[in-house]
Amino acid sequence: MGSGSATWRGKTVRMIATVLGTAFVFVILPLVLQDAYNWCWHLAHKVMRRAATCLPEHVRGDREREWNADLYQLRDRGLSALIWATGTLIHAPNLARIEQGLPSFQYSVAKRAFDVMVASLALALVAPVFGAIALIIRLTSPGPVLMRQVRIGRDGRSFRCLKFRTMRVDPSLHIDTLLVVLSVGFTSTSCHSCGMLCVAT
């Protein structure tokens, strides 16, 4: 009697588990997947619209319509649509730079890395020459070896650069001597009074 009751309970448990498993696979799981699909689809639309806001206004509308058409082709694949929209958002800043006639971010980074690498290599190669020039300036003229000047760089921004000093620290005090030398008409020679290279006129 006890063995038969245990067998009946075991069959009942297996039948209930089978019904619940079948209901989960054919009823609950599709509903969950449909909700996940809808969530991914709506989120993909939001991400795509966010990407469109990164673009200039004169191309935003046309580009958004193109992206909507591309996104519609993924209407049956919610996760794929979300991945596509995320990739669009990542590349939107570069696309905005291109639409504005500016180089892409990857190009800017690559060019900057190339410039720094080549400049560092060139600086290492000419360092002995720079050292010799600095030594000559120090031995032949009082004052600092380098001087600072302001220059205008990219986008009109000013920056300070270092240059080797090629004239006296106080040239304005020797302007009279320089004018006399130029008026007399020396041949091309170094003028010890002003520390400059004077050329006959």
The C-alpha atoms of residue 185 and residue 107 are separated, in whole angstroms, by 54
**Segment among 1-15, 58-72, 96-110, 133-147 with least mean pLDDT:** 1-15
**Segment among 63-72, 84-93, 176-185 with least mean pLDDT:** 176-185
pLDDT band (50, 70, 90) for residue 181: low
Segment 82-103 shows an average pLDDT of 79
Query: Does 201 score more than 70 pLDDT?
Result: no
> Residues with Cβ < 8 Å from 92, sequence gap 6 or more?
51, 52, 54, 55
Quick one: pLDDT at residue 120?
92
Quick one: pLDDT at residue 124?
92
Quick one: pLDDT at residue 5?
61
What's the mean per-residue pLDDT of the chain?
75
pLDDT band (50, 70, 90) for residue 8: low
Dihedral sign from CA coordinates of 86, 92, 95, 99: positive
**Segment among 17-31, 66-80, 124-138 with least mean pLDDT:** 17-31
CA distances from 186 to 52, 122, 181, 183, 195 (A): 70, 38, 7, 8, 14
Segment 176-196 shows an average pLDDT of 55
CA distances from 196 to 144, 151, 162 (A): 16, 23, 20
Quick one: pLDDT at residue 34?
64
Instruction: Evaluate if pTM is beyond 0.75.
Output: no
Fill in the amino acid letter for 79. L
CA distances from 155 to 115, 152, 158, 159 (A): 18, 9, 9, 11
| DSSP structural state of residue 102 | P
DSSP element (H, E) containing 142? none
Quick one: pLDDT at residue 61?
83
Most confident range, picked from 104-113, 116-125, 137-146: 116-125
Give residue-wise pLDDT tens across range 125-168: 989 999 999 899 888 888 888 888 888 877 778 888 888 888 77
